[in-house]
Amino acid sequence: MRILGISAFYHDSAAAMLEDGRIVAAAQEERFTRKKHDAAFPTNAVAYCLAAAECDMAEVDHVVFYDKPFLKFERLLETYLATSPRGFRSFRMAMPLWIKEKLFQKRLLRRELGKRGGSKEWSGSLLFTEHHLAHAASAFFPSPFPSAAVLTMDGVGEWCTTSLGHGRDRELEILKEIRFPHSLGLLYSAFTYYTGFRVNSGEYKVMGLAPYGRPLFAQKILDNLIDLKEDGSFRLDQRYFDYCTGLTMTSPAFHRLFGAEPRKPESPLTRREMDLAASIQAVTEEVVLRLARFARQETGERHLCLAGGVALNCVVNGKLLRKRIFDDIWIQPAAGDAGGAVGAALAAWHGYLGKTRVLDGKDRMAGAYLGPAFEQHDIEKRLTAAGAVYTVLTDDEVIAHTVDALVDEKAVGWMQGRMEFGPRALGGRSILGDPRSPTMQKTLNLKVKYRESFRPFAPSVRREDVAEWFDIDTDSPYMLLVADVLDRRKVPLGPDEAALFGIDRLNVPRSEIPAVTHVDYSARVQTVHQDTNPRYWALLSAFKERTGCPVLVNTSFNVRGEPIICTPEDAFHCFMGTEIECLTVGNCFLRKEDQPSHLRQDYKAQFELD
C-alpha cells in the first residue's frame, strides 16, 4: 500500500511517500525549484516520490494533506471579527488568496495530482489531518519508542499552537492544547522580527546570537509579554503584538516597552540585539522545560518526542536532555512544516488504517537520507554537460583526496548519496572543513557562505567518538542537540580575551576544535553512524587516522538565501560561485584551479538574502 503525504501553501512545501508503512522518500519543494521556503504545491517533490516508489498516481492508495483549510479559515474569520475593525487591512489582503485558492484546496489538490496522472482531476482517496496531529505523528510514529509523551510547538496550525499528546503503539491521542493567538513560536518570531531578521527563516540567527548577549530583558518579557504558569501553559498580552491585526509581528507598545523601533535588516548588530536574543532564548527554555515537566507528570512516560518549528531550537533540546526530565528524547529531523508531509501519511497509516508499528530500537527516518540520489554515470554526464573538469576516483581515492584537501585547510563541497530531508545537511549535501583551524569559521562564513560572521558551525563526529570530545553520549544524528565541548578539550582564556564582548569574542580560539566551538563552548553536535551514512563515516575515520581528530566542520551546501543543493549541477554552480576549493560528487573529484575560468560566477547577488 502506498500513501503520499503533502504539506503545502504556507512555507516549506514537501511530499513524502510511505510503502506498507515504511518511509521510502521525502523531499522539500525548494530543493527542486531553487526558491527558499517554497510554499507552492510540491509538484517536483511529488514527482520525485512517485519515481522513488516506481509508481504513478493511479497506484497511490491514499493522499493525505497535513492540515484542514476550513478550520484555518475559521480562525482567520474569528480573529478578524474579534479585533474588528483594526485588522481590516490584513484581512483584506488575505481574502483574495483564500477565496481563489486556499479555501478550496480539495479541488486544487485533486487538480494538481491529476496533472501527475495525465487527467483533469485525481479521483483517489484524499484525506486531511489536523496540523498539530500531523506534527505529533511525525514525531512519535518514526521514533524508536513504544510509547512516549509528545510535545508539538510551532507558530500556529489551524487553531493549535502547542499540544501535548500521548503515543502508545499505533495509538496517538492529543490530550491538551494551547490555541492561537497564544503561541511560543510567534513570541520567538516577534523577537526575530524585532532584532532585524526575517520571520520563518532568521530564528536560527537569534538562537546563534544569544550566547553573545546577557538575558537582561528576560524578566521584562515574563512580566509583560507572557503570563507563564507553572505547568508551562501561557497567554500572550496581545497589546504588544501585531500579528493578529497588522502586517508586522510587534506593536508600538512592544517598541515602547523595549525603548526602540525594530532594528533595520542588515544594519550593524549591537550589544542590545545580543541581549534581546539571549533574553528570548532564556524565556523559551523556561517555557519548554515547564511544558516537559508537566508532560512527564501528565503521561507518566519515560520518553519524549518533539516536533513543530520550536523543536528545531537545538539549544533548548540540549538543555531538556541534560535536565533528565525524561530518560530520552527524540526529535523529528524535519520538525517544521515540511515534516507534516511525513506525519500526515503516518497518521493515515496508523490512525486511519489501524496498522501496527514496527519497533527494533532504531528510528524510522533512515538518517533523514530520503531525497534524490544520482548514479555515477549520471553524475559524470551532468558534470560534463555543465563544463566541469573532474577526475574519476576509486572509493578509497575519494576519501584520501578529500582528507588531503581538508588537512590543507581547504573548504570542500561534499555531495554523496541521497539528499537529506529537513533543514540540516548531514553529510549528503555538505560543505566540510577542518575544525582545528582557528580561521575556518570566519573563512566559511564570509568567503563561502556569504553570511553573518557571528554564526557558528556544527561538528560532525563519529558516534563512537562523541563522548571523547563533547559532553554528551547519546545519538544525535540530526544535529538537533547542543552540548558543550569537554573541559579537557577547552583552551583557557587570558584576562584580555575573557574581557572581550560581542563579535570580538568570535576570533578567540576556545578549544582544540575552534571552528565548531561557539563562544559559550557549546556545539550543535551531529553523530555520524556507519549504518546510515557509511561513506561520510569512512571520511571521518580517515581524517581521524591522519590527524587524531574524528570531527569535521559540517555546514549546508548552499550560500545565504539559497536552498541546499540537490543535483550535481547545483553543486557545481555553487562550487563555481563561491570560494569552495574542492568538490567531491560521487566518485568525481574537482579542483577549483582546473575549472574553466569563464564558468566562474558572482554567486553573492543571485539569491535574495534571508
Average pLDDT on 468-487 reads 96
Residue 413 is placed in which grid cell? 563541497
Percent of the chain's residues with pLDDT above 70:
96
Whether residue 610 is predicted with pLDDT greater than 80 in this model: the reply is: no
pLDDT tens-digit readout, 396-412: 999 999 999 999 999 99
Per-residue pLDDT, averaged over 327-335, amounts to 97
Q: Is the pLDDT of residue 102 over 70?
A: no
- pLDDT at 342 > cutoff 70: yes
When pLDDT is cut at 50, 70 and 90, the band that residue 320 belongs to is: very high
Give me the sheet containing 22-28, strands edge to edge.
Answer: 22-28, 14-19, 2-7, 62-65, 125-128
- Compare 496 and 586 and report the one with higher pLDDT: 586
C-alpha cell of 308?
Answer: 513543530
Domains of the chain: 2-129+339-353 (3.30.420.40), 179-331 (3.30.420.40), 370-458+527-599 (3.90.870.20)
> Does the annotation count 303 as an active-site position?
no
Residue type, 20: D
d(C-alpha 225, C-alpha 190), whole Å: 11
Average pLDDT over residues 551-574: 95
Does residue 269 contact residue 503 with C-beta atoms inside 8 Å? yes
Q: What is the pLDDT of residue 354?
A: 96
Identity of residue 475: D
Kindly report which listed range (31-35, 346-350, 449-453, 590-594) carries the lowest average pLDDT score. 449-453
As a whole number of angstroms, the distance between CA 449 and CA 443 comes to 9
Instruction: Count the Cβ atoms, other than its own, within 10 Å of residue 578.
Output: 23
Mean pLDDT of 20-46: 96
466 pLDDT more than 90: yes
Question: CA nearest 451: which of 580, 610, 571, 583?
Answer: 610
Is the per-residue pLDDT at 445 higher than 90? no
Give the pLDDT score at 98. Answer: 64
Average pLDDT, the chain: 93
Instruction: Using the predicted structure, report yes or no on whether residue 87 has a pLDDT greater than 70.
Output: no
Euclidean distance between the first and final Cα of the chain, in Å? 40
- CA 173, 178, 181, 184 dihedral sign is negative
pLDDT band at 262 (very low <50, low <70, confident <90, very high): very high
Cβ–Cβ under 8 Å, residues 434 and 552: yes
pTM comes to 0.94
- The reported pLDDT for the residue numbered 500 is 79
Cβ neighbours, 10 Å, residue 186: 21
Q: Kindly list the distances between the CA atom of residue 269 and the CA atoms of 30, 213, 265, 436, in Å, as whole numbers in the listed order.
A: 29, 11, 10, 28
Return the ∠ at Cα 512 (arms to 511 and 513), rounded to 5°. Answer: 85
Q: Across residues 368-388, what is the average pLDDT? A: 98
Statement: residue 284 has pLDDT above 80: yes
Q: What is the DSSP string of 415-437?
A: E-SSPBSSS---SSEEEEE-TT-
Cα–Cα dist 167/79, whole Å:
32
Compute the distance between CA of residue 111 and CA of residue 245 in angstroms, rounded to an integer.
33
Q: What is the pLDDT of residue 100?
A: 65
Count of all residues that appear for the chain in the document: 610
The burial class, CB within 10 Å (0-12 / 13-18 / 19+), for 103 is: middle
Residue 119 has what pLDDT?
85
Nearest to 233 by CA among 313, 292, 279, 186: 292
Instruction: Say if residue 486's pLDDT is above 90.
Output: yes
Query: Strand 522-528 vs strand 481-484: parallel, antiparallel, or unpaired?
Result: antiparallel
The whole-number average pLDDT for the span 24-46 is 96
Cell reading at 5 = 503525504
Q: What is the CA radius of gyration of the chain?
A: 24
Q: Which of 527, 574, 548, 585 is nearest to 384 (CA)?
A: 585
Residue 70 has pLDDT above 90, yes or no: no
Question: What average pLDDT does the segment 6-15 reach?
Answer: 94
pLDDT tops 70 at residue 14? yes
- Kindly tell me if the per-residue pLDDT of 26 is higher than 80: yes
pLDDT score recorded for residue 507: 77
Q: Taking 70 as the threshold, does the pLDDT of residue 103 lie above it? A: no
Q: Is the pLDDT of residue 230 over 90?
A: yes
The model's confidence at residue 99, banded by pLDDT at 50, 70 and 90, is low
Instruction: Give 499-530 pLDDT, tens digit per residue.
Output: 777 777 777 888 999 999 999 999 999 999 99
Q: What is the mean pLDDT of residues 80-108?
A: 71
Task: Determine the average pLDDT of the residues in 576-595.
Answer: 96
Query: Which pLDDT value is given to residue 330?
Result: 98
| Residue 356 CA: distances (Å) to CA of 144, 174, 286 | 14, 19, 36
DSSP 112-142: HHHHHHTSSS--SEEEE--HHHHHHHHHHTT
Catalytically annotated residue among 11, 62, 166, 350: 11
Query: By the 8 A CB rule, do 295 and 324 touch?
Result: no
